[in-house]
Chains A and B, each alone.
Chain A
Amino acid sequence: MTRKVCVVGGATTPFDYGPTGFESIEGGAAECIRETQEDIPEFSLRDIDLMVYSHFSVHFGHQLAAEWIIHDHLGLVGLPHYRVENGGNTGGSALYAAALAVMSGHHDVVGIVGWETMDSVTQSQGSEFIAMASDIRYELMVGGIYPIYYAAMANKWMKDNNVTEEDVATIGAKNRNNAMDNPKTQWYRNENRYITVEDVMNSRLISYPIKKYDCCLMSRGVAFVLICSEEYAKKVNPDRYATIDGMGLSSCTIRAGDRLNFPGWTEQYGPNYPEMTEFGACRNSAEQAYKMAGIKNPLKEIDFGEIHDAFSTSEAQIYKALGLADENTIAQFLRDERTHMHSDIPMNPGGGLMGYGHPVGATGLMSTIECFYQITDMVPSKHLSRKTEVPDAECGIVNSHAGTGTSISNFILRRH
């Protein structure tokens, strides 16, 4: 039997874009760890026995092996370290790698530092860098940016599921408005206003049906998560830790057009799945996580989630891939605002990628941290009010997502 893995602490820097007094990536990592130590005074850097670094693109950082700069800045010479990269799912994949290390029994206390500095280039140059994670031989030249691929996928998905532009626009407004209660979020720090579904509908076209406020933010930020064995969690933070009861990681094609008729999917799920519309890797990794956590009915058993809302359309597609609704119920699920704070399964109370920000290597860790805060009753001390607290949250899902759905991980966190 493998060991239980716990999330015992974590913090992010504020997320921003542009010329603020940014503290540097190694300074940001240090500050995240200092905040974690304020939350868990018993935690010492000497306890860590492995560091996993989570960083997407050296194009943004213009520094190869930037983790080496961070690592020795933290004073951790001699300690094993490596970097995980897996597109937008870099954070989730780093968490997965770190959890495996604890689960195996080989490591006890593992730190994960994630970061991205996307404001080192212009927005349009940044979009092109991200698009270099599409197949540049076939797609970069004709699409140019990721939202176009997502829009093409979402357009058909919405038609197939009777979902309207307004239905998904509610998500763009929800996550930004949740971020208004969270002082580290990019939306709160930079835009600082509540928006309506109408604002989303009237925002400029990016690629039909996706508009500006259906899209996440380009960001700069750093995050730190501390995971460990249950023995260590009980020692340093007995009242506030979460257990990773389930986890799954799955993959799909790099080019979305290649997932029509893919034999590996047909074998598992039958013909015409995932089509170009569904996130097969999300369904598959969720099924792994649910099985491990003993979850039979996710809608009933999961209280909330921090999921990868790169686009409001993809958050809606993820609901379906997580099994919260099917093709007959998804439109009504959206119209009933089931994932808003006032309803039964709030999604992205922390603000998500659209509200908090999306500094790629830090993003999945940010989601993990927000989920951890909910489960350990830390929201009142981390957010501005209790408006974005999920009352009595026992079980949360963390979702991290890459490419056009090319790599996706899901984690089930529970109150211990």
Chain B
Amino acid sequence: MSKILLKKKDREKKVEKPFFTERKEYRPEGVKETGLALVGHEISEDGYVMNQFLHYDQLYTIRHGWNSRFFKGLLEGKIWGTRCPKCGDTWVPVRTHCWNLDCNLQKTEWVEMPLKAKVHTWTVAGWSGRSSLKRLPIVLVYGVVEGSKVAIANELHGIDPWDVEFDMPLKIVFKPEEERVGAVTDFHFEPADSWEPSPMNEEKERIKHLIEPVYDWVKTFK
């Protein structure tokens, strides 16, 4: 196996380990690894059924490896894409090898992308996973970063949710540097400066009607 994966000069070498010189902690309060812990149980009135409560939290390391430049780029306020030197296809999200079967898994090269995109499709979320509930309603768009062959999902800010539309021009906006964590949440989309919302219509009224209770619901969270 190793003969296939390693170049000849690498064969004598042991694994080269990266030397991590920059480390940042931004652990939210209360996030801790407890391992396995039984924390309680319940038994039904008739005594026939028992439920037991097990708590388990574990710290994972997401090793970005060859994709690292994309995530490190986010810390620097940059969107990196990759491009196939053979066929020229370019992607955000990145691919480290070309998707074109004729290119035979050609390794791609890194290219810095413009901070411009276009809405491919969109939705307005009124419900989400536990960690996103407070941000509702969320306008989620799949945006095509200028030059990319594919679309990337992210939130659209700076707009009344009902005003989002297909093909609208976007700019990519990063959080302040000190708030970035090297994840896709470091940036979001905003309407391009040139864009103006179109007048209200039936569909916009419908979306407005559907999200009204969402605003009220979110207010009830601490």
Contacts and interface: CB of A to CB of B under 8 A. Distances in A.
B154 A142 contact: yes
B218 interface: no
B123 A208 contact: yes
B201 interface: no
A257 B152 contact: yes
Given A144-B131, A207-B127, A260-B149, A152 B44 contact: no
A142 B120 contact: no
Contacts of B120: 156, 257, 260, 276
A149 B153 contact: yes
A276 B49 contact: no
Nearest to B139: A208
B121 interface: yes
Interface string A110-138: 00000000000010110110010001111
Nearest to B187: A142
Interface in A191-214: 204-211
A135 B125 contact: no
Contacts of B184: 137-138, 141-142
B150 A258 contact: yes
A142 B123 contact: no
B138 to A, nearest CB: 8
A107 interface: no
Nearest to B133: A124
B153 to A, nearest CB: 5
Contact of B130 (A128, A136, A147, A263): A128
A359 to B, nearest CB: 18
A206 B121 contact: no
B129 A144 contact: yes
B192 interface: no
A148 interface: yes
A139 B129 CA distance: 12
Contacts of B48: 21
Contacts of A148: 123, 125, 128, 138, 140
A206 B126 contact: yes
Interface string A298-322: 0000000000000000000000000
B85 interface: no
Given A142-B185, A276-B120, A257 B150 contact: yes
A186 B125 CA distance: 26
A255 interface: yes
- What bracket does the count of chain A residues touching chain B fall in? 35 or more
A21 B44 contact: yes
Contacts of B141: 152
A260 B101 contact: no
Contacts of B67: 137
A138 B93 contact: yes
B93 A258 contact: yes
A157 B130 CA distance: 28
Given A131-B129, A142-B140, A207 B124 contact: yes
Contacts of A21: 44, 48-49
Interface string A22-43: 1000000000000000000000
Nearest to A154: B123
Contact of B62 (A122, A137, A142, A155): A137
A128 B127 contact: no
Interface in B94-152: 99-102, 120-133, 137-138, 140-142, 144, 149-152
B195 interface: no
B93 A205 contact: no
A138 B184 CA distance: 6
Contact of B150 (A141, A159, A261): A261
B54 interface: yes
A257 B153 contact: yes
A143 interface: yes
Contact of A142 (B126, B127, B153): B153
A405 to B, nearest CB: 14
B101 A264 contact: yes
B127 A206 contact: yes
Contacts of B185: 141-142
Interface of B: 42, 44, 48-49, 51, 54, 56, 62, 64, 67, 71, 89, 91, 93, 99-102, 120-133, 137-138, 140-142, 144, 149-155, 166, 183-185, 206-207, 210-211, 213-214
16 contacts: A127-B128, A137-B62, A140-B129, A142-B140, A142-B153, A144-B131, A155-B123, A205-B210, A207-B123, A207-B140, A208-B123, A255-B93, A257-B93, A260-B149, A261-B150, A276-B120
Interface of A: 19, 21-22, 62, 122, 124-125, 127-128, 131, 135-145, 147-149, 151-153, 155-156, 159, 165, 204-211, 255-264, 276-277
Nearest 10 A/B pairs, CB to CB: A257-B151, A205-B126, A144-B129, A151-B123, A128-B129, A144-B128, A156-B121, A144-B132, A207-B125, A205-B210
